[in-house]
């Protein structure tokens, strides 16, 4: 025993055995989930179907993003919208409309409005806010979503954060860090919408849900469904790609 005890102490001191390992913090969990979904850069092709009680509309698009500061979305269909481009660069958002040859700057006051008539806001599509930087995170429980054990994490916006929501609750899978469910609340703590993620698929170097569904809380028969068809992560993208000049050239 006299020989064993010093060996155990040595292993602990050198980090070979960690008897006091700490659970991940809420912020670390959210950051892992955010990094998995975003990557340093990414390029994706997806469709967005807007479902309303009396009509349905599908928009096809491509998206490029780099970190939290840059994002560009190019509309490929339908024909009447094809060629429209949305650019988010730092704290500014722009829309190039080729049919009228106009570059339109979208003011912060419009960030909460529906993007292309969908249940997603301008803020959602172009990632103007960050779930890591703009919110304080707290683990409030553990629940399964579709049979997958998840952390239940509450996000409260920081006082100086320019965000749309008064509170966000996320269910993030404990093993894979998939964001499987998200509830969005207004400043009066009223549930405004729910986002559900499903249909996990392999995208190059990672597995992620390929289907995202937004369901407004107070609008029966209304939802928006996004299907990610392909995605590549950590590709080469320079800051200069995200320019007003490139909005007119990208396709």
More confident residue, 106 or 215: 215
Q: What is the rounded CA–CA span in Å between residue 47 and residue 27?
A: 31
Write down the pLDDT at residue 68: 80
The pLDDT tens digits of the residues spanning 15-28 come to 444 433 358 999 99
* Residue entry with tokens 């988010």: 88
Comparing 56-60, 67-71, 147-151, the range with the smallest average pLDDT is 67-71
* Residue entry with tokens 């050198």: 14
DSSP state at residue 1: -
Write down the pLDDT at residue 249: 92
> CB neighbours of 24 closer than 8 A, spacing ≥ 6?
32
Write down the pLDDT at residue 154: 97
Q: What is the rounded CA–CA span in Å between residue 147 and residue 72?
A: 35
State the average pLDDT for the chain: 88
Half-sphere exposure of 91 (CA within 13 A, CB side): 5
Picking from 173, 169, 171, the residue whose alpha carbon sits closest to that of residue 183 is 169
* Residue entry with tokens 């024909």: 79
Element of type H or E holding 132: none
**Percent helix / strand / coil, the chain, rounded to 5:** 15, 50, 35
Write down the pLDDT at residue 127: 54
The pLDDT tens digits of the residues spanning 206-230 come to 999 999 999 999 999 999 999 999 9
> CB neighbours of 158 closer than 8 A, spacing ≥ 6?
134, 135, 136
Q: What is the rounded CA–CA span in Å between residue 39 and residue 58?
A: 27
Percentage of the chain beyond pLDDT 70 is 88
* Per-domain boundaries in the chain: 22-247
Q: Which CATH architecture has domain 22-247?
A: Clam (2.50)
Q: What is the DSSP string of 29-59?
A: HHHHHHHHHH-SEEEEEEEEEEEETTEEEEE
The pLDDT tens digits of the residues spanning 142-158 come to 999 999 999 999 999 99
> CB neighbours of 201 closer than 8 A, spacing ≥ 6?
207, 208, 209, 210, 228
Q: Residues 90-108: what's their mean pLDDT?
A: 89
Instruction: Tell me if residue 219 falls in helix, strand or coil.
Output: coil
Q: Residues 125-145: what's their mean pLDDT?
A: 84
Picking from 136, 135, 134, 116, the residue whose alpha carbon sits closest to that of residue 125 is 116
* Residue entry with tokens 């960030």: 111
The pLDDT tens digits of the residues spanning 1-20 come to 444 444 434 443 444 444 33
Q: Residues 194-205: what's their mean pLDDT?
A: 96
């Amino acid at each position: 025993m006299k020989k064993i005890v010093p060996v155990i102490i040595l292993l602990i001191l050198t980090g070979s055995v960690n008897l006091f390992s700490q659970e991940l913090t809420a912020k670390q969990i959210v950051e892992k989930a955010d990094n998995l979904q975003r990557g340093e850069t990414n390029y994706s092709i997806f469709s967005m179907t807007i479902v309303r009680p009396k009509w349905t509309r599908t928009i096809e698009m491509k998206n490029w993003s780099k970190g939290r500061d840059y994002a560009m979305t190019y509309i490929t269909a339908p024909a009447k919208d094809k060629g429209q481009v949305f650019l988010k660069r730092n704290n500014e958002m722009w829309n190039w409309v080729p049919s009228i040859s106009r570059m339109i700057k979208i003011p912060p006051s419009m960030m909460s409005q529906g993007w292309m008539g969908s249940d997603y806001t301008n803020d959602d599509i172009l990632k103007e806010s960050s779930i890591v930087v703009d919110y304080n995170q707290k683990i409030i429980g553990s629940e399964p979503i579709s049979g997958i054990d998840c952390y239940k994490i509450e996000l409260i916006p920081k006082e100086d954060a320019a965000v749309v929501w008064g509170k966000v609750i996320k269910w993030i899978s404990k093993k894979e860090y998939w964001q499987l469910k998200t509830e969005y609340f207004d400043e009066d703590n009223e549930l405004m919408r729910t986002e559900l993620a499903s249909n996990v698929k392999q995208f190059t170097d990672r597995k992620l849900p390929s289907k995202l569904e937004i369901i407004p809380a107070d609008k029966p028969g209304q939802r928006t469904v996004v299907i990610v068809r392909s995605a590549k992560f950590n590709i080469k993208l320079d800051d200069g790609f995200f320019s007003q000049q490139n909005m007119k050239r990208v396709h």
